[in-house]
Amino acid sequence: MPFQPRELFPDRSARDLFGAEIRRHREKADMSLRRLSEVLNYSKSHLARIEAAESLPYDDLPAKLDACFGTDGMFARIYALAKNEPYPSKLRRVVEVEKRAVTIEQYACATIPGLLQTPELAKASLRIGNRFAPDAEIEAWAKARIARQARLAEPRPPHCWFIVDEAALRRAAGGPEVMRRQLGSLLERGTQPYVTIQVLPFRAGQHVEAGGSLLLYTLPNEPLLAYEEGSRFGTFIEDLDRVAERRKNYDLLRAMALSPLDSEAMIRAVMKDWTSWEPPQI
């Protein structure tokens, strides 16, 4: 099956417009991505993500593109707008919904929810999922993820209910010290009146949402909205029957999880394990 480039929407986003103009000028010049990367002395994989509006360029790329295609500063002007959009289109709706939600409920299987991550864990988690991305790109993504947490510091923040799988507490991301600080941050977050944190222990066994992340958003005067996310996908669910099914799934997970007080005790115990952790002898 031939490769199909991602559809772009230049009328909706400056990031998409930047990517669409790269694609248009490249195809007009009959250049492959590989050839363009050689001309620009730029990573082909990073250039592909920029063209697909999944990543932002470094500051020097717009000038290189303008010089390559003779576009008289056009790419520099578009970039001035695009860099104000820190999120790719696939995450933009999530961020918009998050900003309007009065209640956010999340179950996270593999990692600590992004709204609760420390900057160190955010960078470590993003690096694990994007092994070949440049450091500057990881830094930008992590900064954008942490910026979303400002929502929890507003005068009237959303009520948040997080169910965190025990695996997310025990699986090292960034090393013992990063995990120890992360669990300390969880304990601090759990003291806030609008945040409830529960741990789903291993002994709860298998369940219907194993393997991914489920979010439920309550928006003012709108039906409940569900969002399912995995390592390589994210999908909004708006059909009322399917959302109702996710509601039941989440309520079951809440019943299977430890109480907030017992969850705090487990987090403290795992935090102690990370404090005393030593690498295995080889």
pLDDT of 131 reads: 78
The stretch 75-92 carries a mean pLDDT of 79
pLDDT over 90 at 68, yes or no: yes
pLDDT of 109 reads: 86
The stretch 154-182 carries a mean pLDDT of 93
> Which of 83-97, 196-210, 222-236, 243-257 is predicted most confidently?
243-257
Amino acid identity, residue 68? C
Region of poorest pLDDT, from 152-166, 186-200, 217-231: 217-231
pLDDT of 144 reads: 86
pLDDT of 5 reads: 63
| Averaged confidence pLDDT in the chain | 88
The stretch 55-81 carries a mean pLDDT of 89
pLDDT tens digit sequence for 183-212: 999 999 999 999 999 999 999 887 776 667
Residues 217, 179: Cα–Cα separation, whole Å: 28
pLDDT of 225 reads: 94
pLDDT band at 87 (very low <50, low <70, confident <90, very high): low
Region of poorest pLDDT, from 33-37, 90-94, 109-113, 146-150: 90-94
Pairing of strands 195-200, 159-165: parallel
Other C-beta atoms within 10 Å of 170: how many? 12
Query: Would you say 108 and 165 are in contact if contact means Cβ atoms under 8 Å apart?
Result: yes
pLDDT of 29 reads: 94
pLDDT of 55 reads: 78
The stretch 82-105 carries a mean pLDDT of 82
DSSP codes, the chain: ----PPP--TTT-HHHHHHHHHHHHHHHTT--HHHHHHHHT--HHHHHHHHTTSSPPPTTHHHHHHHHHT-TTHHHHHHHHHTT--S-HHHHHHHHHHHH-SEEEEEESSS--GGG--HHHHHHHHHHH-TTS-HHHHHHHHHHHHHGGGGGGSSSPPEEEEEEEHHHHHS-SS-HHHHHHHHHHHHHHTTSTTEEEEEE-GGG---TTTTSEEEEEE-TTS--EEEEEETTEEEEE--HHHHHHHHHHHHHHHHHSPPHHHHHHHHHHHHHHHHT--PPP-
The stretch 219-243 carries a mean pLDDT of 86
The pTM of the full predicted model, rounded to 2 decimals, is: 0.74
pLDDT over 80 at 165, yes or no: yes
pLDDT of 57 reads: 74
pLDDT of 214 reads: 93
Residues 131, 127: Cα–Cα separation, whole Å: 5
**Token pair of 258 as six digits:** 């430890």
pLDDT over 90 at 252, yes or no: yes
The stretch 60-76 carries a mean pLDDT of 93
pLDDT over 60 at 1, yes or no: no
Q: What percentage of the chain carries pLDDT values higher than 70?
A: 89
pLDDT band at 2 (very low <50, low <70, confident <90, very high): very low
**Token pair of 239 as six digits:** 């059909």
Name residue, tokens 């709108």.
222
